[in-house]
Amino acid sequence: MEYRILTVNPGSTSTKVGCFEGEKELFTVNVSHEAEKLKEFESISAQLPYRKETILAALKEADIDLSTIDAFVGRGGGLLAVEGGTYKVNETLLDHARRGANGVQHPAQLGSQIAYEFASQYNKPCFVVNPPDTDELTLCARITGIQGVFRNVHLHALNLKETAIRHSKANGWKYEDKNYIVCHIGGGISISAHQKGKMIDGNDIVGGEGPMAPTRCGSIPAAEMIRYCFDHPDKKEVLALTTKTGGFVSHLGISDALELTKRASEGDEKAAIVWDTMLYQIVRYIGAMAGVLCGEVDGILLGGGMVHNKDLVARITKDCSWIAPVTAYPGEFELEAMAAGAIRVLNGEEKAKIYSGKPVWVPKDLG
């Protein structure tokens, strides 16, 4: 049976919606929301009625009948750290999404809420797949050199895992049997190690780890960062470097990779150095993940918007193919990944997990 799935992935000023029948895409749309209108709401969750109304209007225009949908899937923002997988939306999950229990206020919180509204109306199942706070780190990957300070993980988990699953399927393999280094290279950059179906390590793209990215500072030497904080006591200003004002923005005042590479090609030496530095750092982190996997790597997989850049792919391939074959999957598979997760559950290939409301790991004294 080819199940029909509706996926909902909210962003800052728009919501991506997709309708799939099996692996076939029937319809996708990026529903725009008025920025001024969004400012009227006191919280992310308060936007739900407005966003739902605009989504319904787009679906009506596309002649999508929600009564024909077999399951609804929303982006799983706002949740506490969980293992990867497909989770059935329950009251605990909804409560955490509404208030952003992970402490990160992001429109992705609305994904499960909007999907659940539709699912409840038509009495159909509702899921989230590989939420943003998917956490499968090993203990050694969590510990730092400061007692009581532990590494967190925030990655493009949905796209990273789907890329690995798709690559495995294309080669007649099982994701659970292979080891990969999977990268998402876009507005944020995730470099992750996947060992036999588990994402055992990766950089914290919210906490300022990993390569620099268009708006993100990436990893900074601790002493230099501490000195910077003393010189710039505004906490908001400093924290913004990790997700908004670091990287390309800090160096050149732009966040567009196309603009950066254009400047570099036209002889802007600083733009060229910043671009080369980002590529250098990506390669370095790929090498680190190879070490995590003890050199047993079946493939290096590249996804995300910047992977459309052929020079970027060529540079990573040249520098890293000695580790494992490099394969590019430009763009992202987020909507497809959400639909695929629901279909695996409906087909009986995978069992839906239950969101308990407890984080997968709690910081503890090492004794």
Query: How large is the average pLDDT for residues 295-314?
Result: 98
Each residue's pLDDT tens digit, 83-112:
999 999 999 999 999 999 998 889 999 999
Query: How large is the average pLDDT for residues 99-127?
Result: 96
Tell me, what's the pLDDT at 364? 81
With a cut of 70, say whether residue 329 has pLDDT above it: yes
Tell me, what's the pLDDT at 153? 86
Each residue's pLDDT tens digit, 17-62:
999 999 899 999 999 999 899 999 999 999 999 999 999 999 999 9
Which pairs from 293-297 meet CB under 8 Å and 24+ separation? 293/179, 293/181, 293/193, 293/195, 295/323, 296/179, 297/179, 297/180, 297/181, 297/323, 297/324
Query: How large is the average pLDDT for residues 278-292?
Result: 98
| CATH fourth-level superfamily of 4-136+335-354 | ATPase, nucleotide binding domain (3.30.420.40)
Look-up: residue for tokens 């970027």?
312
Tell me, what's the pLDDT at 104? 83
Tokens of 250: 């800090």
Tell me, what's the pLDDT at 82? 96
With a cut of 70, say whether residue 347 has pLDDT above it: yes
Query: How large is the average pLDDT for residues 251-267?
Result: 97
Tell me, what's the pLDDT at 286? 98
Contact criterion met (CB below 8 Å) for 293 and 304: no
Average pLDDT over the chain reads 96
Tell me, what's the pLDDT at 230? 96
Domains 4-136+335-354 and 157-331 share a fold: yes
Residue ranges of domains in the chain: 4-136+335-354, 157-331
Tell me, what's the pLDDT at 43? 95
Residues 6+ apart with CB under 8 A from 126: 71, 72, 73, 74, 88, 89, 112, 115, 116, 118, 119, 120
Is pTM beyond 0.75? Reply is yes
With a cut of 90, say whether residue 175 has pLDDT above it: yes
Tell me, what's the pLDDT at 140? 96
Each residue's pLDDT tens digit, 190-231:
999 999 999 999 999 989 999 999 999 999 999 999 999 999
- Please state, in angstroms and rounded to a whole number, the distance separating the CA atoms of residues 184 and 199: 13
Tell me, what's the pLDDT at 367? 63
Fold entry, domain 157-331? Nucleotidyltransferase; domain 5 (3.30.420)
